Structure 1
Amino acid sequence: MAIGSLRGLMGEACRAGSVPKDKVEFVVEHYLAGELRGRGAHGIAKFCFEAQFFPQREGCPQIVRENGALSVIDARREIGPISAAYAVEVAVGKAAGFGAGIVGMINTQRYGILAQWSERIAEHGYLGIVMNTSRAEATIHGGRTPVLGVNPLSFAIPTLNEHFVADMSTTLAPMGVLWEARRTGGPLPHGCFVDDRGNPTADADAATSAVVFGEHRGFALSLLVQILTGSLFAFPMGAEVDSTWSTGYTFLALDPSFGGQVAGFPERNTQLVDAMRSAVTRDGAAVRLPGQVSRERADRALATGTVELDDTVYRRLQARAAGDFACD
Structure 2
Amino acid sequence: MTRDTDVRHVDATTAIEVACDALVAAGSDPHPARLQAEHLVEAELRGHPSHGLRRLPILVGRIRAGLLDPNAEPTFAWGASAALSVDGNLGFGPVVAYRTIDELLRRVAQTGVAVAALRRTHHLGMLAPYVERLGGRGCIGLALSSTEGLVHPWGGAGPLLGTNPLGASVPARDGGIVLDMSTGAVSAGKILDYAERGLPLPEGWAVDADGHPTTDADAATRGSISPFGGGKGYALGLTLGAIVGALTGTAYGPKVRGTLDASHIVTKGDVFVAIDVEAFGQPADSPELAAYLDLIRASGADGGAVDVPGDRARRARRSAEESGFDVTEDVWSTIVGLASEAGIGVKAGHRP
Match of 1:255? 276
Give me the identity figure in percent: 27
> How much has 1:149 moved relative to structure 2?
0.7
Q: Is the 8 A contact 2:176 2:290 kept in 1?
A: no
Q: Identify the residue that residue 331 of structure 2 maps to in structure 1.
A: 313
1:40 partnered with 2:53: no
CA distance, structure 1, for counterparts of residue 207 and residue 150 of structure 2: 11
CA-CA distance at 1:125 after TM superposition: 0.4
Amino acid at match of 2:328: D
Question: Deviations for 1:13-47, whole angstroms, at most 9, x for unmatched residues?
Answer: 12112222223332222111100111010111123
Residue equivalent to 1:180: 193
Mean alpha-carbon deviation: is it higher for 243-252 or for 49-58? 49-58
Partners of 1:90 and 1:101 within 8 A in 2: no
Secondary structure at 1:8 match in 2: helix
- The residue that corresponds to 1:295 in the other structure is 314
Task: Report the 3-state secondary structure (helix = DSSP H, G, I; strand = E; otherwise coil) of the residue aligned with 1:308.
Answer: strand
Aligned-residue offset at 1:265: 4.7
Is the 8 Å Cα contact of residues 20 and 30 (structure 2) preserved in structure 1? no
Moved more, 183-192 or 138-147: 183-192
**SS in structure 2 of the partner of residue 127 of structure 1:** strand
Relative to 1, partners in 2 of residues 1:126 and 1:197: Cα closer, same or farther, differing over 3 Å? same
CA distance in 2, matches of 1:64, 1:140: 35
Q: How far apart, CA to CA, are the structure 2 residues paired with 1:264 and 1:154?
A: 19
Distance 2:188 2:18 in 1: 25
Q: What is the TM-score normalised by the length of structure 2? A: 0.84
Q: Say whether the 8 Å CA contact 1:144–1:194 is kept in structure 2.
A: no
The one-letter amino acid paired with 2:291 is Q
Amino acid in the other structure paired with 2:299: A
Q: Offset at 1:211?
A: 0.8
Question: Which residue of 2 is the match for residue 323 of structure 1?
Answer: 341
Q: Is the 8 A contact 1:119 1:163 kept in 2?
A: no
Cα distance in structure 1, aligned partners of 2:252 and 2:281 = 35
- Any residues of structure 2 matched to 1:1-328 within 5 Å, and which? 1-3=9-11, 4-54=13-63, 56-57=68-69, 59-64=72-77, 66-183=79-196, 186-207=199-220, 208-244=223-259, 245-261=266-282, 263=283, 265-281=285-301, 283-304=302-323, 306-323=324-341
- Structure 1: how far apart are the matches of 2:149 and 2:235? 15
Given that 2:278 and 2:284 are in contact with CA atoms closer than 8 Å, whether structure 1 keeps it comes out as: no
CA distance change for structure 1 residues 20 and 147 in 2, over 3 Å: closer, same or farther? same
Give the partner amino acid of 2:334: R
Give the drift of 1:76: 0.4
8 Å CA contact retained: 1:157, 1:269: no
After TM superposition, give the deviation of residue 310 of structure 1 in Å.
1.2
8 Å Cα contact 1:144/1:198 also seen in 2: yes
Aligned 8 A contact 1:114 1:154 in 2: yes
Aligned residues: 321
SS at match of 1:83: helix
Relative to structure 1, the CA distance from residue 219 to residue 5 in structure 2 (aligned partners, 3 Å threshold; closer, same or farther) is same
What is the CA deviation profile of residues 197-232 of structure 1, one whole-angstrom value per residue up to 9, with x for unaligned ones?
221123344332111101122122212211221113
Q: 3-state SS of the aligned residue for 1:11?
A: helix
Aligned equivalents of 1:189, 1:16: Cα separation in 2: 38
Alpha carbons of structure 1 residues 194 and 225: separation in structure 2 relative to 1, 3 Å: same
Q: Deviations over 1:114-165 (max 9, x none)?
A: 1000001111100011120112211244432322110111111211223431
RMSD: 2.1
Q: Which runs of 5+ in 1 are unaligned?
A: none
Separation (CA, whole Å) in 2 of partners of 1:91 and 1:228:
19
Structure-2 change in CA distance of 1:274 and 1:182 (3 Å) = closer
CA distance in 2, matches of 1:235, 1:104: 10
